[in-house]
Amino acid sequence: MLRTPFSIRTPGGIVRGDVRGVSTGNAAIVVCHGFKGFKDWGFFPTACEQLARRVDCPVIGFNFSGAGVGSDLGSFSEPEAFATNTFSREVDDLEAVLDGLAAGRLGEARVMPPARIGILGHSRGAIAAALVGSHRPEVVALAVWGGLSRPDRYAELFPAGAPEDHVVEIRNVRTGEILPLRRDVVDDLRERGPALDPLAALRAGGPPLLAVHGELDEAVPGADGRAYAEAAAVSEFLLVPGAGHTFDVRHPYVGSTPALERALSATGNHFRRYLATED
């Protein structure tokens, strides 16, 4: 499958991504990774390729500028970007990707501006997906996988009374490396809290939503996924039996799983329903 890399500069830093598939101008899907995730983690490349084939449209996967993953695309070589990442920064990054699609250019990659866009957000990426997708008219469908619905959960990582320069240590389970997290995310929530509530954004208006959640999700409670479905005016909730937060996929990727296939099938059907037209 054709894969075209791109990079764009946003207020927060550099967003690096790929366009998979051929742009026709009819539709496109944008995929947002979650906390400690990145566009080439585990199932993301396969998910992007599968959705491009199943929905017959290009799929854009990208790294948030605060992901911490640098130009090598495979390691957390920018720990300070990770440390200072915020929800507002992720919203700005996603807005920049959609603006690039509308303009027909994602950095060095030229695309035909799509008439309709679907957004898929995994875990923390569901928050930016909902916040941006709920107000952009070209976004006609949303999907969240293991979606975190409570951004204030990050404030709970910092002990009460901790000094302003307190740093939380986040362990990368796969590599064992320790990533720093500073209070920027808490300050962002303090300043813009109501504007960063994905459920409120969906209640105020937004496209049809599919929420897919693993029954045994160890990172995000299933109640978060149900909350997304309940907030959207048109929605569907799918609980995948026996599945964890990443649908039983690990990194490096060694192959798909029944749980991932279930999520992909439902998501492909959801996007086909709302992105496909007769034109």
For residue 180, tell me if it sits in a domain: no
Q: What is the DSSP track for 85-97?
A: --HHHHHHHHHHH
Within a domain: residue 174? no
Is 135 a domain residue?
Answer: yes
* Spacing of C-alpha 96 from chain mean position: 14
Q: How far apart are CA 266 and CA 223, in angstroms?
A: 19
DSSP 169-199: EEE-TTT--EEEE-THHHHHHHHHGGGG-HH
How many independent structural domains does the chain possess?
1
CATH number at residue 105: 3.40.50.1820
Q: By residue range, what is the domain housing residue 38?
A: 3-150+194-275
Helical (H) or strand (E) element with 238: strand 235-240
Residuewise pLDDT in 10s, the chain (279 residues): 999 999 999 999 999 999 999 998 899 999 999 999 999 999 999 999 999 999 999 999 999 999 999 999 999 999 999 999 999 999 999 999 999 999 999 999 999 999 999 999 999 999 999 999 999 999 999 999 999 999 999 999 999 888 999 999 999 876 778 999 999 999 999 999 999 999 999 999 999 999 999 999 999 999 999 999 999 999 999 999 999 999 999 999 999 999 999 999 999 999 999 998 644
Residue 94 lies in a domain: yes
This prediction's pTM: 0.97
* Within a domain: 189: no
Backbone angles phi, psi at 68, to 5 degrees: 95, -10
